Amino acid sequence: MKVQELFNLNGKVALITGGSKGLGYIMAEGLAEAGADIILCSRNIDECKVAADNISKIGVKSKAYKCDVSDPDDVVEMVESTILEFGKIDILINNAGYATGGPLEDMTLEQWNKSFAVNSTGPFLCCREVGRQMIKQGGGKIINIASVAGMTTIAPELADALSYSSSKAALVFFTKDLARKWCKYNINVNAIAPGYFSTEMSKNVIEYRNKEMMNTILMKRLGEKEDLKGAALLLSSKASDYMTGQIIAVDGGVLLS
Protein backbone atom coordinates (compact mmCIF):
# COMPACT_ATOMS: atom_id res chain seq x y z
CA MET A 1 0.00 0.00 0.00
CA LYS A 2 1.32 3.43 -0.94
CA VAL A 3 1.89 6.05 1.75
CA GLN A 4 -0.88 8.26 0.40
CA GLU A 5 -3.34 5.39 0.80
CA LEU A 6 -2.31 4.87 4.42
CA PHE A 7 -3.51 8.38 5.27
CA ASN A 8 -6.57 8.48 3.01
CA LEU A 9 -9.86 8.86 4.91
CA ASN A 10 -12.24 8.83 1.95
CA GLY A 11 -15.46 7.08 2.96
CA LYS A 12 -14.73 7.36 6.69
CA VAL A 13 -17.04 9.03 9.21
CA ALA A 14 -15.49 10.94 12.12
CA LEU A 15 -17.29 12.23 15.22
CA ILE A 16 -15.51 15.01 17.10
CA THR A 17 -16.79 16.32 20.42
CA GLY A 18 -16.17 19.96 21.26
CA GLY A 19 -15.51 20.41 17.56
CA SER A 20 -16.95 23.85 16.96
CA LYS A 21 -13.73 25.73 17.78
CA GLY A 22 -10.19 25.47 19.08
CA LEU A 23 -8.33 22.17 18.87
CA GLY A 24 -11.49 20.26 17.98
CA TYR A 25 -12.10 22.34 14.89
CA ILE A 26 -8.46 22.11 13.84
CA MET A 27 -8.62 18.31 13.93
CA ALA A 28 -12.00 18.26 12.16
CA GLU A 29 -10.55 20.39 9.39
CA GLY A 30 -7.54 18.09 9.05
CA LEU A 31 -9.62 14.92 8.83
CA ALA A 32 -11.97 16.55 6.33
CA GLU A 33 -8.99 17.53 4.18
CA ALA A 34 -8.04 13.83 4.18
CA GLY A 35 -11.55 12.94 2.92
CA ALA A 36 -13.57 12.05 6.03
CA ASP A 37 -17.16 13.11 6.59
CA ILE A 38 -17.37 15.04 9.85
CA ILE A 39 -19.88 15.15 12.71
CA LEU A 40 -19.32 17.97 15.17
CA CYS A 41 -20.98 18.27 18.55
CA SER A 42 -21.00 21.08 21.08
CA ARG A 43 -23.22 22.54 23.78
CA ASN A 44 -23.51 25.66 21.60
CA ILE A 45 -25.43 24.48 18.54
CA ASP A 46 -25.19 27.82 16.74
CA GLU A 47 -21.38 27.80 16.84
CA CYS A 48 -21.42 24.15 15.88
CA LYS A 49 -23.58 24.76 12.81
CA VAL A 50 -21.27 27.52 11.60
CA ALA A 51 -18.28 25.21 12.03
CA ALA A 52 -20.02 22.35 10.19
CA ASP A 53 -20.91 24.68 7.31
CA ASN A 54 -17.26 25.72 7.05
CA ILE A 55 -16.10 22.10 7.09
CA SER A 56 -18.56 21.19 4.32
CA LYS A 57 -16.87 23.76 2.05
CA ILE A 58 -13.84 21.46 1.99
CA GLY A 59 -15.97 19.06 -0.05
CA VAL A 60 -17.16 16.53 2.53
CA LYS A 61 -20.43 15.99 4.33
CA SER A 62 -20.63 17.63 7.75
CA LYS A 63 -23.33 17.76 10.40
CA ALA A 64 -23.70 19.59 13.73
CA TYR A 65 -25.39 18.22 16.84
CA LYS A 66 -26.05 19.84 20.19
CA CYS A 67 -24.59 17.66 22.94
CA ASP A 68 -23.36 17.95 26.51
CA VAL A 69 -20.95 15.01 26.72
CA SER A 70 -21.50 14.70 30.48
CA ASP A 71 -25.22 14.00 29.88
CA PRO A 72 -25.87 10.32 29.05
CA ASP A 73 -29.12 11.08 27.22
CA ASP A 74 -27.45 13.70 25.04
CA VAL A 75 -24.67 11.28 24.10
CA VAL A 76 -27.08 8.47 23.23
CA GLU A 77 -29.18 10.82 21.10
CA MET A 78 -26.10 12.17 19.30
CA VAL A 79 -24.76 8.71 18.47
CA GLU A 80 -28.17 7.40 17.35
CA SER A 81 -28.69 10.46 15.14
CA THR A 82 -25.23 10.02 13.61
CA ILE A 83 -25.87 6.36 12.79
CA LEU A 84 -29.25 7.23 11.29
CA GLU A 85 -27.70 9.97 9.13
CA PHE A 86 -24.32 8.45 8.23
CA GLY A 87 -24.79 4.72 8.84
CA LYS A 88 -21.58 4.24 10.84
CA ILE A 89 -18.85 5.87 12.93
CA ASP A 90 -15.27 4.99 12.03
CA ILE A 91 -13.43 7.57 14.15
CA LEU A 92 -14.25 9.13 17.52
CA ILE A 93 -12.24 12.05 18.87
CA ASN A 94 -13.09 12.88 22.48
CA ASN A 95 -12.02 16.52 22.53
CA ALA A 96 -14.64 18.37 24.62
CA GLY A 97 -12.96 19.78 27.70
CA TYR A 98 -13.42 22.00 30.72
CA ALA A 99 -10.85 23.79 32.86
CA THR A 100 -11.08 25.91 35.95
CA GLY A 101 -8.17 27.54 37.77
CA GLY A 102 -7.28 28.39 41.32
CA PRO A 103 -5.63 26.74 44.33
CA LEU A 104 -7.16 23.56 45.69
CA GLU A 105 -7.91 25.15 49.06
CA ASP A 106 -10.29 27.56 47.33
CA MET A 107 -11.83 25.09 44.88
CA THR A 108 -15.47 24.13 45.23
CA LEU A 109 -16.76 20.59 44.91
CA GLU A 110 -18.86 21.76 41.97
CA GLN A 111 -15.74 22.92 40.10
CA TRP A 112 -13.94 19.66 40.83
CA ASN A 113 -16.89 17.54 39.75
CA LYS A 114 -17.46 19.48 36.53
CA SER A 115 -13.86 18.92 35.42
CA PHE A 116 -14.27 15.17 35.85
CA ALA A 117 -17.77 15.17 34.35
CA VAL A 118 -16.56 16.69 31.08
CA ASN A 119 -12.94 15.50 30.86
CA SER A 120 -13.31 11.95 32.21
CA THR A 121 -16.98 10.92 32.31
CA GLY A 122 -17.66 12.51 28.91
CA PRO A 123 -15.11 10.30 27.11
CA PHE A 124 -16.42 7.26 29.00
CA LEU A 125 -19.99 7.93 27.82
CA CYS A 126 -18.93 8.61 24.24
CA CYS A 127 -16.64 5.58 24.11
CA ARG A 128 -19.38 3.38 25.52
CA GLU A 129 -22.01 4.42 22.98
CA VAL A 130 -19.74 4.72 19.95
CA GLY A 131 -17.84 1.59 21.00
CA ARG A 132 -21.02 -0.47 20.82
CA GLN A 133 -21.39 0.61 17.21
CA MET A 134 -17.71 0.00 16.41
CA ILE A 135 -17.95 -3.52 17.85
CA LYS A 136 -20.86 -4.21 15.46
CA GLN A 137 -18.86 -2.75 12.57
CA GLY A 138 -15.78 -4.84 13.36
CA GLY A 139 -13.45 -2.04 14.43
CA GLY A 140 -12.71 1.66 14.63
CA LYS A 141 -10.37 4.37 15.87
CA ILE A 142 -10.77 6.24 19.16
CA ILE A 143 -8.62 9.25 20.01
CA ASN A 144 -8.87 10.81 23.45
CA ILE A 145 -7.53 14.34 23.82
CA ALA A 146 -5.57 14.33 27.06
CA SER A 147 -3.02 16.97 28.02
CA VAL A 148 0.60 17.26 29.11
CA ALA A 149 -0.97 18.56 32.32
CA GLY A 150 -2.19 15.02 32.92
CA MET A 151 1.31 13.58 32.47
CA THR A 152 3.52 15.87 34.54
CA THR A 153 3.22 18.43 37.32
CA ILE A 154 3.08 22.12 36.45
CA ALA A 155 4.35 24.99 38.57
CA PRO A 156 1.46 26.83 40.27
CA GLU A 157 2.64 30.19 38.98
CA LEU A 158 2.12 28.86 35.44
CA ALA A 159 -1.10 26.90 35.91
CA ASP A 160 -2.96 26.11 39.10
CA ALA A 161 -5.70 23.78 37.91
CA LEU A 162 -5.51 20.55 39.86
CA SER A 163 -9.01 19.40 38.90
CA TYR A 164 -8.14 19.72 35.20
CA SER A 165 -4.79 17.93 35.45
CA SER A 166 -6.27 15.16 37.61
CA SER A 167 -9.17 14.56 35.22
CA LYS A 168 -6.79 14.44 32.26
CA ALA A 169 -4.52 12.01 34.13
CA ALA A 170 -7.57 9.79 34.59
CA LEU A 171 -8.18 9.99 30.84
CA VAL A 172 -4.60 8.88 30.15
CA PHE A 173 -5.06 5.70 32.17
CA PHE A 174 -8.56 5.17 30.76
CA THR A 175 -7.04 5.25 27.26
CA LYS A 176 -4.40 2.64 28.06
CA ASP A 177 -6.72 0.25 29.85
CA LEU A 178 -9.51 0.54 27.29
CA ALA A 179 -6.98 -0.15 24.53
CA ARG A 180 -6.12 -3.42 26.26
CA LYS A 181 -9.77 -4.36 26.70
CA TRP A 182 -10.90 -3.54 23.16
CA CYS A 183 -8.01 -4.95 21.12
CA LYS A 184 -10.13 -8.05 20.56
CA TYR A 185 -12.70 -5.90 18.74
CA ASN A 186 -10.14 -4.35 16.37
CA ILE A 187 -10.66 -0.96 18.01
CA ASN A 188 -7.53 1.18 18.34
CA VAL A 189 -7.63 3.46 21.39
CA ASN A 190 -4.95 6.14 21.60
CA ALA A 191 -4.57 9.65 22.95
CA ILE A 192 -3.00 12.94 22.02
CA ALA A 193 -1.58 15.06 24.85
CA PRO A 194 -1.31 18.62 23.51
CA GLY A 195 1.00 21.16 25.05
CA TYR A 196 0.43 24.88 24.64
CA PHE A 197 -1.68 25.91 21.67
CA SER A 198 -3.38 29.26 21.22
CA THR A 199 -7.00 28.51 22.16
CA GLU A 200 -9.79 30.09 24.18
CA MET A 201 -8.92 27.81 27.10
CA SER A 202 -5.23 28.77 27.17
CA LYS A 203 -5.39 32.47 26.28
CA ASN A 204 -4.99 33.70 29.87
CA VAL A 205 -1.84 31.66 30.42
CA ILE A 206 -0.42 32.81 27.09
CA GLU A 207 -1.20 36.45 27.82
CA TYR A 208 -0.09 36.70 31.44
CA ARG A 209 2.47 33.92 31.80
CA ASN A 210 4.13 33.89 28.40
CA LYS A 211 7.73 34.07 29.65
CA GLU A 212 7.25 31.33 32.24
CA MET A 213 5.44 29.19 29.67
CA MET A 214 8.14 29.54 27.02
CA ASN A 215 10.74 28.49 29.60
CA THR A 216 9.02 25.09 29.70
CA ILE A 217 8.81 24.62 25.90
CA LEU A 218 12.07 23.35 24.42
CA MET A 219 11.07 24.48 20.91
CA LYS A 220 10.26 27.98 22.20
CA ARG A 221 6.99 28.34 20.30
CA LEU A 222 3.31 27.56 20.60
CA GLY A 223 1.77 24.63 18.78
CA GLU A 224 0.35 25.37 15.33
CA LYS A 225 -2.55 23.89 13.39
CA GLU A 226 -0.38 21.59 11.31
CA ASP A 227 1.28 20.16 14.42
CA LEU A 228 -2.06 18.82 15.65
CA LYS A 229 -3.57 17.91 12.28
CA GLY A 230 -0.74 15.49 11.55
CA ALA A 231 -1.05 13.64 14.85
CA ALA A 232 -4.85 13.39 14.56
CA LEU A 233 -4.62 12.10 11.00
CA LEU A 234 -2.04 9.49 11.97
CA LEU A 235 -4.21 8.04 14.73
CA SER A 236 -7.36 8.19 12.55
CA SER A 237 -5.87 6.40 9.54
CA LYS A 238 -4.57 2.98 8.54
CA ALA A 239 -1.08 4.29 9.26
CA SER A 240 -1.76 3.63 12.97
CA ASP A 241 -3.31 0.17 12.64
CA TYR A 242 -0.48 -1.33 14.73
CA MET A 243 -0.71 1.34 17.45
CA THR A 244 -2.95 1.17 20.49
CA GLY A 245 -2.76 2.43 24.07
CA GLN A 246 -0.30 5.15 23.06
CA ILE A 247 -0.21 8.71 24.43
CA ILE A 248 1.38 11.01 21.85
CA ALA A 249 2.57 14.29 23.31
CA VAL A 250 2.35 17.16 20.82
CA ASP A 251 4.03 19.64 23.12
CA GLY A 252 7.23 21.06 21.65
CA GLY A 253 9.23 19.23 24.31
CA VAL A 254 7.37 20.29 27.48
CA LEU A 255 7.62 16.78 28.93
CA LEU A 256 11.39 16.84 28.42
CA SER A 257 12.00 20.18 30.16
Tell how far CA 68 is from the center of its chain.
15
- Write down the number of H helices and E strands in the chain: 10, 7
Sheet holding 91-94, edge to edge: 62-66, 37-42, 13-17, 91-94, 140-145, 187-194, 247-250
Gap between the Cα atoms of 106 and 147, Å rounded: 23
Residue 168 and residue 162 in contact, taking contact as beta carbons nearer than 8 Å = no
Residue 164 bears catalytic tag: yes
Report how far apart, in Å, the C-alpha atoms of 244 and of each of 44, 132, 175, 207, 215 are: 32, 18, 9, 36, 32
Catalytic residue among 25, 65, 164, 196: 164
**Phi, psi of 141, rounded to the nearest 5 degrees:** -125, 125
| Residue 215 to residue 154: CA distance in whole angstroms | 12
Backbone angles phi, psi at 91, to 5 degrees: -135, 130
Phi, psi at 239, each rounded to 5°: -60, -20
Count Cα neighbours of 220 within 13 Å in the Cβ-side half-sphere. Answer: 0
Residue closest to 127 by CA, chosen among 25, 29, 17, 13:
17
> What are the residue numbers of the active site?
164
